[in-house]
Structure 1
């Protein structure tokens, strides 16, 4: 049961691309890639995993070549299976999740003028200590799940934690933004975000130190989460950024590199205003949103008013959150993850579904 149906997904495609999509979907069905994925609970929605918008992302990444898209989709599914990503999403330690969230762009709780979620990151966070912390997770033994319910390794590795964070984007944030009607094309599902990066602290030494991070995360995004980024604004870039980018760019997936927009300080606010209202632009870039790196999402009023909240503060708690179908057939947000050996299962908010 998916939130978005095929007709909405295909609305903007040419007849030729619609035919490619139909062929790709058929190939996926024949290869059993559209069955419920290992690790999902019966109540979990497939949104972001194997629903039509997800298939379209993979197909777009392969220039509408069904065979090539199938190969990549199978590789992504195998990666999830080998790394126990779906099971880890429900069980990951909330403290580990929050610590890892600091290394990647995270949702501000706001959306651009098209309704796309805005994710922010401050490169200043990548100091020597934090880079060493990230590098340590690359060498950690992978977390594994056994049928007995016992984890075979105490900590998740870098690939697993990064994947769980990206799953929050595709499984929770994209579907949330998709149901919002206050956007130019409310019937077209949201399948990508825009990133705003504060690059003011990026020096030559740090830029070189980030090459392995850029390479590995770029591989994960391009392979398992293709076409989830519309553009990335690197703001307040220093004058020598072109030199840094020259060394970093070869380590980044070419399709991702094409979406990077470099902005000097004078160009930041005028450019961002073309895409984002001032109220949703963080103060670090000239807007009025009091959001800084590491903060929990500050949901806008439209999102808050759209859902029936079980939490009086109408905000998102730390840790992973997923969408489920509750006993009444409604779309419900469930906070999961683990804390001190106990698995969390906390209802946050619900929304009546109109496409049951």
Structure 2
């Protein structure tokens, strides 16, 4: 008697679809366990993140998402869902990058990371900002623009004034934000403040550098460590007394500065850092410990690992909010991750008036 044979139906799902079907229900279950049942938009944020991560992986020469550690994919999905960051938004709210990392067995493997863009911080501020009623389009003030700082008259404040000119480097960013008590505060971040971000970026990229004195810093002898430290001190001394543009042009420091800081994308990176610096001091209210943990992890990655020199960083042009006319305007539009298995200060003033809105166009 012939035996019945069952033929398994072919699976025509793409890698992204298979990954989504495997991971998204797990993330939904974990978020629900922390008291936050994901809504339709949060699920869409996770699906969109997987599509973009897969594209970034292919562009970096990686076969697919399957090569990345499961914990990294899970944590990124938790981040975009909890913080409500949409990878398909334009301007971008988040970005992804791949880089090589050394595994426990001594071999090298691929890693993927997520970072928050300026518009991502705006979205987080709208959703989680303490007492925030509305986040108005930021002002991207250039060097040749007419700009006056706020003035104080006792307890009264005269708001800043900006007349765009459209020429020169970005000098500062101003965020007009209306709070629920009716006041409007202006959060200002200067170009000079970004120097601290750049210095931290360079120091982070020099952390494991041995300058040829040793095979790696873990195998260096005491004498070699002194030589390495001396060389690092020499390089750091080159930055003393110099502004951000001078530091970016120092030849000896070029190996420790990622391409995103260089010519062509320099101004976009500086603008992005100013935007981040401006909104960081604003208190955030998160619904649970998981949301707070995901936010802290994202901020830590941005500060210590953003655009590392060994990363495959996909640079995509950003949309920058600027006015549509040349007239003066007051606006432009606690749980731990699943275990592995396989700022600078901003200046603030407040005013009781609401700034006008204007359209945002790319620079």
Whether the TM-score (by the shorter chain) exceeds 0.5 is no
| TM-score (structure 1 length as normaliser) | 0.29
Please tell me whether Structure 1 or Structure 2 has the larger radius of gyration of its CA atoms.
2
Q: Which has the higher helix share?
A: 1
| TM-score (structure 2 length as normaliser) | 0.28
Higher relative CO (CA 8 A, sep ≥ 6), structure 1 or 2?
Answer: 2
